[in-house]
Chains A and B, each alone.
Chain A
């Protein structure tokens, strides 16, 4: 089962690259949705069966795989934009940076003092790599929707880390994390709406005009 989990994690890493490298927003959203579904299945692979686990899986698959992508898709359709036209950093440099950060995170994870049973997993490096990819998307993209995608990827990275602790994780913490995610998406949704209404564009760099003089 462990090897299967590791293969899934490789898939997660590949999806990171998809969202780093594509300019088509709908495609990016779908990729992140698939990533969410994979993350929903993962706990079932590494922990013994319990109803608690089933509940986690169901909730995560629903929220990450369907609810949030649905919301984002609606935002994309209503804003009538299809592509991230001019990012701050081009797609090829972003991909290269992503690769660099992924490599670095494997190096970093190897040096972390971890429990022996976590030593051989790919969880920690995959988590850090996903987190980094999320940050990269957040920093290099201009459109508010891309920012939300970056935020989701970042959250997924944190979630992977949490998987190691799934058994120890009390329901409160899980609920908190999911709520955090949902609220984050809502806030971003509001930002998207407000920016597009105010500037008739989704370019977050226009937010500088809100700066205090």
Chain B
């Protein structure tokens, strides 16, 4: 009995148990005929598991040790270990938090009573996705990793095609399925090469491989392609905007907030294997990262679909994380410990931060879409009046994602800036400083994108006549958002505490470097940030209290927002989402083809005319689709082999067997 209890309180076991229970949470709902109880049960179970899982994971993170469990799986691919080291534990935090929040949100957003046909499947696969991601982080056997990876990819596919009666959703699903299996193909190469190098399917321990051999380069390349396709690093991001836009919002939150990070986790993990990465690797990662960041946010500015905009901004944030990682890798190559620490801390912290504010924003977009009934920003407007709480929470997320103090997005980007400016004093890699203005441009574009989003959705007057039905989101939808808003604010104000989370994970990646604490001078800087954050926050609070006090005392007249003093202003006279961003997008013509169908205006009294814009996905539409069509045409002759005659199919097998036998002779 004593041993049982001791085992039960082992945090690693609690974490594994929580992961498994979340996976099973959706199953009872499949067998309950009445819609509703299954969903609530699943949410309760998920939240309880997460409340058990998060402290366990934190304990594992701070203990700075790794716990190993052996899975008896009876397959001929060597030992199947489940290991939770601080790096896994760090990535497990968002897995638990975001999935728990999403499952509560689903009760209000996707009520079983209204969606009786697909709610069961949605709840089931949601749990499966969360569980597979958690197990993935623990898997240390290549074959097992691929299996769990596929469970993750397929369950997210089924979540994505929840509304498969819509053609657009099916198309997004197909693109996602192809992209994710393209990545899996690269991962098969990756794990086979690793196995060939190490002699087993066990993932190598940190710093055990040399990066000089040519096969190491291929391993790294396969990792960037395979994991990058999942993370959405350019140019492998093609599946991301449509997939995130077409999934139910809480699923988008999990996909963007957590699933993309699984790709990044793979890259993190891969980089730990090598003790001497060449300068080129860091260079390539940095370049990919900064390109993704810049183009991702440029695409985001051009979008007119609320969720597509958020999805494109995910590409940007993944780009920023990749840039941090690249910078850290450059630090490893040039033996600059401070650069390693700043790069890694920026990357890991941004992983955590992005999963917080992006979840907040996607959940917020879910609440908005639930109220407005459309994803088209040009049709929204004035939602801030009917749903003030959601508007405030969304504002917190938007400010955070733009990297504005005192919220958490600022902290991680600031750490990256520190790393970049550090190179001014260094005698090598000075050109890294030039990344800082690019990063600033990214930040500026992010502000444009989110001003566009917030302005056209929440401010102004409703552009749609049926806006009267807008309603504030219910408590189940607000609570998860409040939770993440508080987390964003907390990390923004207490960055030192967040860095305590990050340090053990960095120590796992580079155990030889003794990097555990931030150099003292940066600690001072962070302290000042923290102080100014508190001041800023109290200023905001004081000003808004003062404003409310004034509002209560003075006579209030209500008029049209942005009415410009006209007597009879209409909603259509205000700036639309597309018109707001047109100028910014026009700078990027060539990369973003924003097609605007402009009406020709003739005479003094022109008739009714329409103007519409269509942001295109350059890489998908210009490169990948033509490529696939070409491949389809050139392999058309192979289709003759697929004629539907079962016997001849059997004959194929028979012939193959026969030839093999003759060959063996």
Contacts and interface: CB of A to CB of B under 8 A. Distances in A.
Given A108-B665, A111-B665, A135-B653, A211 B646 contact: no
B661 interface: yes
B604 interface: no
B645 A208 contact: yes
Given A135-B650, A139-B651, A211 B642 contact: yes
A207 interface: yes
Nearest to B657: A135
Given A135-B653, A135-B654, A135-B657, A208 B647 contact: no
A131 B653 CA distance: 12
A108 B661 contact: yes
B555 interface: no
Nearest to B74: A172
Given A108-B665, A172-B74, A208 B653 contact: no
A199 to B, nearest CB: 13
B665 A208 contact: no
Contact of B644 (A128, A132, A207): A207
A138 B646 CA distance: 9
A-side binding surface: helix, strand, loop or mixed? helix
Contacts of A142: 647
A78 interface: no
A27 interface: no
Given A108-B661, A172-B74, A211-B642, A204 B647 contact: yes
B75 to A, nearest CB: 11
Contacts of B648: 139
A34 B9 CA distance: 58
B598 interface: no
A172 B643 CA distance: 37
Nearest to A136: B654
Contacts of A88: 647
Interface string B27-52: 00000000000000000000000000
Looking at chain A, what size class is its interface with the partner chain? Answer: 20 to 34
A68 to B, nearest CB: 20
Contacts of B657: 131, 135
Interface string A138-169: 11111000010010000000000000000000
A50 interface: no
Nearest to B651: A139
Interface string B634-661: 0000000011111110110110010001
A207 B646 contact: yes
A200 interface: no
Contacts of B642: 211-212
A75 B653 CA distance: 27
A148 B159 CA distance: 37
A207 B646 CA distance: 8
A210 interface: yes
B650 A138 contact: yes
A200 to B, nearest CB: 18
Nearest to A88: B647
A204 B643 contact: no
A208 B644 contact: yes
A205 interface: yes
A135 B650 CA distance: 7
Interface in A66-121: 88, 107-108, 111-112
A176 to B, nearest CB: 11
Contacts of B647: 88, 138-142, 204-205
Contacts of B74: 172
Contacts of A111: 664-665
Given A135-B650, A135-B657, A138-B650, A209 B644 contact: yes
A207 B649 CA distance: 12
Contacts of B650: 135, 138-139, 150
A207 to B, nearest CB: 5
A172 B73 CA distance: 12
Contacts of A212: 642
A141 B651 CA distance: 12
A211 B643 contact: yes
Contact of A205 (B645, B651, B653, B654): B645
A135 B651 CA distance: 8
Nearest to A140: B647
Given A108-B661, A108-B665, A111-B665, A210 B644 contact: yes
A107 B74 CA distance: 36
B25 to A, nearest CB: 28
Contacts of A108: 661, 664-665
Contacts of A205: 645-647
Interface string B12-31: 00000000000000000000
A211 B644 contact: yes
Contacts of A147: 646
Contacts of B661: 108, 128
Interface of B: 74, 642-648, 650-651, 653-654, 657, 661, 664-665
Given A139-B650, A205-B646, 17 more contacts: A107-B665, A108-B665, A111-B665, A128-B661, A132-B654, A138-B650, A138-B654, A139-B648, A142-B647, A172-B74, A204-B646, A207-B644, A207-B646, A208-B643, A208-B645, A211-B644, A212-B642
15 contacts: A108-B661, A111-B665, A132-B654, A135-B650, A138-B647, A138-B650, A139-B651, A140-B647, A205-B645, A207-B645, A207-B646, A208-B643, A211-B643, A211-B644, A212-B642
Q: Which 7 A-B pairs have the closest CB atoms?
A: A208-B644, A211-B644, A138-B650, A135-B654, A139-B650, A139-B651, A139-B647
